[in-house]
Chain A
Amino acid sequence: MDTAVRGARPPVPDPVLQTRIEALLADYVHCIDDDRLEDWPAFFTAAGRYHVVTRENHERKLPVALIYCDGRGMLRDRISALRNANIFEPHVYCHTVSAVRVLAAGADGFRARSNFSVVRTMADGEIMPFANGRMFDHIVEEAGTLLFAERTVVLDSRRIDTLLVIPF
């Protein structure tokens, strides 16, 4: 996805739209942080794309992703593997989302970007800053609900501590 809007002047803030988008982003991170991961795919359209990439690869236009989901099926598979197959020490995330900006609004939906950080807490109490970066979103409205048609998570660091299993 084109994550930069070069030369385009961001639109004048629309307070209603801004509030709706911010609510979507908050609901999304609450779903993950509350461990309601089975609900996570429903934040996306049926063909929704979710890609976690590193800033290094993103800037050098290298296409590989840490997580590469095209469509709700692959999103659901991430969660069923997490629940039924993958082995990892129990841990939780706390997301912080900031600098939410609607970059464009048009017939094909909305483009937005935001910053995020995730603090990871392990079952034994160890706390660490686990990830931070930027989210670039293409959001559409279906039957009155805002959904992600595309969500690209660009991690500032190329390094993942130990493993990545819970989505951002």
Chain B
Amino acid sequence: MDDARTAPLPDLAWRPGDVSGVPYRVYTDPAIYAHEQARIFRGPTWNFLCLETEIPAPGDYKTTFIGDTPVIAVRDANGTINALVNRCAHKGSLVCYKPFGNVAEFNCVYHNWVYDLRGRLTGVAFRRGVGGKGGLTEAFDQDAHGLEALRVATYRGLVLATFDAGTPAFPDYIGAELLGSIDRVLIKPLKVLGYHSQILPNNWKLYVENNKDSYHASLLHVFHNTFGVVRPTMGGGIRISESGWHHLSYTERVPIADDEIGREKVRSLKDQYQLDDPSLMEHRLELGDTVTNSIQTVFPTLVVQQILNALAVRQLVPKGVDRSELIWTVLGFEDDDTAMLELRLKVNNLVGPAGFVSMEDGCVGGFIQETAKADGRARTVLPMGGSGIEPSQGSRVTEAAVRGFWKGWRDCMGL
């Protein structure tokens, strides 16, 4: 039990159960950040590590983070994927310091302590000392000095881990309805098309809220309206898990009759602009329905994305109270033909750090971080679509999923 878990949280003067607004202090207070590490990232949550296809062979590993904690995902000789805290039991050095690799065992470079691929300590250099002097005493319990192992779940090619023995099994964690929407996108064996990452100048929660906030998409991402990708008057809706923690926002290629956007004089609606090369927006329906956009969050920091034929998982890694790294793993399917690959490469212009409909998410969190640090007692308000976390059929003009995130946050934080 670590200190952050037992120490009291700073008083946020936040009415119990209230998710209709958020004190800015949650984005700026290092004490709250420390609590989040213990109660959320090392708490009862499933966190994305990698895709099964990234570590296909025995000995393959990938290093990543769950919150601040460095973690290794490694496939052992039995083909089982293990998740190990990447910290030598001796002095705490990183055991693995490369992003990917293949090993028979893990050797800490500092003093050559050796671990097998399940994290058990199998060797200590000079354990008998030299010339009968030094080394370990009988009192040293080798079995008690392995790498900390996490529970692992795999689902549709995703590999997730949790520190907490009490976290429900992944399908129960996310719930049947939203599990189905993961099935929908990760429909076939996956192929990684590449990686990039983006440093966000803001607290991690601001980016998570941004993903849950379907209200902003057509307003901030002017490209949507300017070039007709997504308008708030297209069909679709929001689904929210029973727990409130996870959500899905989707858009269908079914325009609904509502000229509200015209009446509101939305800043972003500039009908005069057209793409010179609309091949960027070509969409081959490949998932068995007419859904064009699907953004799904898994609490706390995973996003499964379909934007036309641009598929990706986004993993958010907090890097201190006012900085985060957003890691994009861009996906296709193993059976993509050349034309499909070309289509994916083009449509990926929409997303990522240079994405026509995503780049603003890189800066808008920073705009909030600037104001949040000025006055931690002030609060946001989240009034769109009421004050609860009900799903919304037919409209994405709601902040219900954002409120659901704060319910999850408060559940974990014990607030």
Contact = CB atoms under 8 A, between A and B. Distances in A.
Nearest to A65: B345
Nearest to B268: A85
Contacts of B196: 54, 57, 64, 66, 158-160
A68 B346 contact: yes
Interface residues of A, number: 37
Contacts of A57: 194-196
Most buried by A among B196, B198, B270, B344: B196
Contacts of B362: 160, 162-163
A86 to B, nearest CB: 6
Interface string A93-118: 00000000000000000000000000
Contact of B220 (A60, A87, A158, A165): A87
A66 B363 CA distance: 17
A60 to B, nearest CB: 8
A98 to B, nearest CB: 24
B359 to A, nearest CB: 4
B273 interface: yes
A76 interface: yes
A77 interface: yes
Contact of A162 (B201, B222, B268, B346): B201
Interface string A56-76: 110010111111111111101
Contacts of A17: none
A23 interface: no
A63 B345 contact: yes
B345 A161 contact: no
Contact of B194 (A63, A71, A73): A63
A66 B356 CA distance: 11
A165 B346 contact: no
Nearest to B349: A68
A54 B275 CA distance: 26
Contact of A66 (B270, B275, B353, B364): B353
Give the residue among A52, A74, A162 with the most B Cβ atoms within 10 A.
A162
B202 to A, nearest CB: 10
B227 interface: yes
Question: Interface of chain B, helix or strand or loop or mixed?
Answer: mixed
A133 B173 CA distance: 43
A80 interface: yes
Given A62-B193, A162-B366, A87 B199 contact: no
Interface in B317-343: 325, 330, 341
B223 interface: yes
Nearest to A53: B194
Contacts of B195: 54, 56-57, 62, 64, 158
Contacts of A69: 349
Nearest to B226: A85
Contacts of A63: 193-194, 341, 345
Contacts of A87: 220, 222, 360, 363-364
B277 A73 contact: yes
B353 A68 contact: no
Given A84-B273, A159-B199, A64 B354 contact: no
A164 interface: yes
Contacts of A70: 346
Contacts of B353: 66, 160, 162-164
Given A57-B196, A65-B194, 16 more contacts: A62-B193, A65-B345, A68-B346, A72-B276, A81-B227, A84-B270, A85-B223, A85-B227, A85-B268, A86-B359, A86-B360, A88-B359, A89-B363, A159-B198, A160-B197, A162-B366
17 contacts: A62-B194, A63-B193, A63-B345, A64-B344, A65-B345, A66-B354, A67-B354, A74-B349, A76-B277, A80-B276, A81-B226, A84-B226, A86-B223, A86-B356, A87-B363, A158-B195, A163-B360
